Structure 1
Amino acid sequence: MRIAMIGTGYVGLVSGACFADFGHQVTCVDKDAGKIAALRRGEIPIFEPGLEALVAANVTASRLDFTTDLAGPVAEAEAVFIAVGTPSRRGDGHADLSYVYAAAREIAASVRGFTVVVTKSTVPVGTGDEVERLIREANPWADVVVASNPEFLREGAAIRDFKFPDRIVVGTSEERGRKALGDIYRPLSLNQAPLMFTARRTAELIKYAANAFLATKITFINEIADLSEKVGADIQEVARGIGLDNRIGTKFLHAGPGYGGSCFPKDTRALVKIAEDHGAQLRIVESVVTVNDNRKRAMARKVANALGGNLRGKTIAVLGLAFKPDTDDMREAPSIPLITGLCDMGANVRAFDPASMKEARRELPDIDYCDDAYACAEGADALVIVTEWVQFRALDLPRLKRIMKRPIVVDLRNVYRPDEMAELGFVYSSVGRDKT
């Protein structure tokens, strides 16, 4: 099938490349001429394992192309996916739908023949109704079905998630829409991918509900971690003990500095606003948002406590800046409030991340950036592990101890074992496993 993908951000680029790899003819459209020119040169604007090779293979096979011209690809397409950004709107936390609605109006002006218009961006319940209204208002003769097809891609594992999904949610009550999207995803049928058809509004809510539930699991285990420290329990054993119950599951039960990224923070806030607009209360989700925000700010105090409460003039080495490994995404990363707090307390901060330092410099311009973990740690009063990159899971600990000014490690991801660190002579603080 011929597919037009509007937007070459994380969702649009990964989805477009994967659809092309299925054998579809895909054109990715973006208004950013610089980004399109870079993509045509084979330069990928985001860090995602395997994406550069996937894009290159499908461009070479003439199944994937990039352009700033929306009209041509939309006119030829049998399906048009809207995959533009929906950031939190300044001031009220609602999802900013201006890019979605602008895309809908442009699609309306260009569409020819029967076309399925699919919202892949994360959008509030009822957005599909408005997209359909805008298209029909701009072009009453348009033969379109508007559907919702939310994405469930994890940064760092997006290609695998797309090709081996837990589920594919398609929101449309129109048989023609169901058939078209069934055809698009047919290459996954050998993998027995569960294709779930729902009403459009149900599909829109499924995305928000899924992210809110996962954010709740993270926040729950973080609060239990705080209690573990107070009572002398081990949060990793607690998490395993409850996670082995198949009603609960082991995923998203890893204590840490709080969730971040492009989805959970904005989607939980948006879901609270959606509920408010419809006269419903989501007190659990409201609490999740508040607890997570407070937790990220509290991590700087945890570091200060490990150094006796005074950070003035101390050098703190921070390993990991992206909100999670295998991405360069700094959106809502826990490292930002952590480092801001450390600087506010008078510390000198150095940092290293394998992928995100270019992005981090925009958010944190006033700290020192290092070439590797050991350059970052040399002469430091304390080392803080913020992102659990695989490179930080097997550090040369004796070397670290030799080069640091003081052997203090604050491990916010519980990468190392307390007994091992004590044996090597480190003053070691982790999450939910000590009283620091």
Structure 2
Amino acid sequence: MKIAVIGGGYVGLVTAACFAHLGHEVSIVEVDAGKVRAINAGEPPIYEEGLEELLTAHAGKTLVAGTEYGPVADADLSFICVGTPPAGDGSADLSYITAACRSIGEALRGRTKTHTVVVKSTVPPGTTENLVVPTVGVASGRNDLGFAMNPEFLREGRAVDDFLHPDRIVIGSADPAAGNSVAAVYRGIDAPAVRTGTTAAEMIKYASNALLATKISYTNEIGNLCKRLGIDVYEVMQGVGLDKRVSPHFLNAGAGFGGSCFPKDVAALIHLAEKQGEDPVLLQSVMEVNRRQPLRMVGILKERVGDLNGKKIAVLGLAFKDGTDDIRESRAVPVIEALLEGGAAVAAYDPLAVPNMRRVFPQIEYCARAAEALAGADACLLMTEWPEFSRLDGEFDLMKSRVVIEGRRVLSCDGKEGICW
């Protein structure tokens, strides 16, 4: 089938590359000309395991990127994969969705080919029905188009594998024919299909992410209590996670959640609930626990080394998780802010995320190796669960004082202290 993917960012690029891998002819519409050149050259503008191999195999063949919406007119389906960043009040900013819908409609005006518009971006319930359908309809002058909602459930760092081996494929549509056209592009993937209405599909995405975020904040609350009681929270949550009703996933205590999805999606769900007259106390608490959690590391640090002014603090890990260069809502950001406010000198290292973090904190020192960051440091804060950090040991002897506090439980060396263990 011919597919147009609107947006060559994280979700759009992975979606397009995987659809090309499944044998479809895919066109990416991306406004950033630099990204377009990189994609067509087979060079992913983001790091994602397995993505470069897919681009190498398909870029310039069954996968082509451009800045114009022309390919939409000849496509069987168009997938909207643009961003829905948080607005100032926490709601989802739908301006990119609106602009994409207008451009899709204009590209389809005067055409008679059957076409289904699919929303893959995370949007509040009702967006497809109340915004996408009428906007595309007015711009296209057509009333024979299909519409569907097909949320993504991709973990950064593991997105290609998640796309090709999903737990489920959720397809929401009012028209069965539109839903069937979406199901057809996933042929070859072995996963249960959940068929719903569009608003239910939109809510499934929010509810899924909010539940996972809740598990993380709950685990951190238990971890904070366990530390005071001298109990190993990882032993506790291992026992909890063996319950089939709970599952062991997202029960690792630590510095909290970040990234492009959980924080903004929980915030958007809170805003949606409040707009409907509900008081989402649980979701608000999830966000508050997550806000405070990484700052507990700074509190422990001050207890161990005293006044931070003039002290060198090594920060290992800048990405919000391992396997990605994404620093959006990374728990390292509020920690570095607090260190700088306290007058500390920060030496940071991350295998992939240094260029991105340098744009946020140009004033701190960035190192090429963990050992370089640790040399002469008064303390070390570990923020990201990169596997290479688990192999560190003698490098900590380079520190001025061996004070090591980890926000992710990955270190095997002696003398470290966990944020909540």
Q: TM-score, normalised by structure 1?
A: 0.94
User: Which of 213, 233, 250 is matched with 1:235 structurally?
Assistant: 233
Q: Which moved more, 1:126-135 or 1:34-43?
A: 34-43
Per-residue deviation, 1:265: 0.4
Q: Which moved more, 1:147-156 or 1:39-48?
A: 39-48
In the other structure, the counterpart of 1:302 is: 300
For residues 70-89 of structure 1, the aligned pairs below 5 Å read 70=69, 72-89=70-87
In structure 1, how many angstroms separate the alpha carbons of the residues matched to 2:48 and 2:302?
A: 34
Say whether the 8 Å CA contact 1:87–1:266 is kept in structure 2: yes
SS in structure 1 at match of 2:246: coil
Deviations 1:140-176 (A, max 9, x none): 3252111100000000000100000000000002121
- The residue type paired with residue 352 of structure 2 is A
- The residue type paired with residue 324 of structure 1 is K
The structure 1 segments of at least 4 consecutive aligned residues displaced by more than 4 Å after TM superposition are none
Say whether the 8 Å CA contact 1:315–1:350 is kept in structure 2: yes
Per-residue deviation, 1:398: 2.5
Deviations 1:295-349 (A, max 9, x none): 2333322222232x32111111111000000000010100000011011111110
In the other structure, the counterpart of 1:274 is: 272
Task: Establish whether residue 51 from structure 1 lines up as the match of residue 48 from structure 2.
Answer: no
In the other structure, the counterpart of 1:67 is: 66
Say whether the 8 Å CA contact 1:4–1:26 is kept in structure 2: yes
- The residue type paired with residue 183 of structure 1 is A
In structure 1, how many angstroms separate the alpha carbons of the residues matched to 2:407 and 2:56?
A: 37
- The residue type paired with residue 406 of structure 2 is D
Deviations 1:26-69 (A, max 9, x none): 00111111211222222211111111111110125x11101111
In the other structure, the counterpart of 2:420 is: 432
In structure 1, how many angstroms separate the alpha carbons of the residues matched to 2:142 and 2:224?
A: 59
Say whether the 8 Å CA contact 1:296–1:337 is kept in structure 2: yes
In the other structure, the counterpart of 2:118 is: 118
SS in structure 1 at match of 2:59: helix
Say whether the 8 Å CA contact 2:407–2:418 is kept in structure 1: yes
Task: Establish whether residue 398 from structure 1 lines up as the match of residue 394 from structure 2.
Answer: yes
In the other structure, the counterpart of 1:183 is: 184
- The residue type paired with residue 119 of structure 2 is T
In structure 2, how many angstroms separate the alpha carbons of the residues matched to 1:137 and 1:305?
A: 62
In structure 2, how many angstroms separate the alpha carbons of the residues matched to 1:241 and 1:284?
A: 24
In structure 2, how many angstroms separate the alpha carbons of the residues matched to 1:142 and 1:375?
A: 62
- The residue type paired with residue 329 of structure 2 is E
- The residue type paired with residue 39 of structure 2 is L
In the other structure, the counterpart of 1:350 is: 347
In structure 1, how many angstroms separate the alpha carbons of the residues matched to 2:378 and 2:282?
A: 39
SS in structure 2 at match of 1:388: coil
- The residue type paired with residue 41 of structure 1 is A
Per-residue deviation, 1:137: 2.1
SS in structure 2 at match of 1:202: helix
Task: Establish whether residue 140 from structure 1 lines up as the match of residue 136 from structure 2.
Answer: no
Deviations 1:102-134 (A, max 9, x none): 100111111232111000000001110110011
User: Which of 338, 344, 350 is matched with 1:341 structurally?
Assistant: 338
Task: Establish whether residue 361 from structure 1 lines up as the match of residue 358 from structure 2.
Answer: yes
In structure 2, how many angstroms separate the alpha carbons of the residues matched to 1:36 and 1:135?
A: 25
Deviations 1:398-431 (A, max 9, x none): 3421x111111111112235xx51xxxx3x2113
Say whether the 8 Å CA contact 1:148–1:172 is kept in structure 2: yes
Per-residue deviation, 1:379: 0.7
SS in structure 2 at match of 1:48: coil
In the other structure, the counterpart of 1:97 is: 94
- The residue type paired with residue 178 of structure 1 is G
How many residues end up aligned between the 2 structures? 417
Q: TM-score, normalised by structure 2?
A: 0.97
In structure 1, how many angstroms separate the alpha carbons of the residues matched to 2:178 and 2:281?
A: 36
In the other structure, the counterpart of 1:371 is: 368
In the other structure, the counterpart of 1:8 is: 8
In structure 1, how many angstroms separate the alpha carbons of the residues matched to 2:383 and 2:161?
A: 25
In the other structure, the counterpart of 1:158 is: 159
In structure 1, how many angstroms separate the alpha carbons of the residues matched to 2:4 and 2:138?
A: 22
SS in structure 2 at match of 1:393: helix
Runs (5+) with no aligned partner, structure 2: none
Say whether the 8 Å CA contact 1:88–1:270 is kept in structure 2: yes
In the other structure, the counterpart of 2:197 is: 199
In structure 1, how many angstroms separate the alpha carbons of the residues matched to 2:299 and 2:31?
A: 43
Deviations 1:250-308 (A, max 9, x none): 1101111111000000000000011111222321111111221122333322222232x
Say whether the 8 Å CA contact 2:234–2:252 is kept in structure 1: yes
Say whether the 8 Å CA contact 1:233–1:432 is kept in structure 2: no
In structure 1, how many angstroms separate the alpha carbons of the residues matched to 2:21 and 2:354?
A: 31
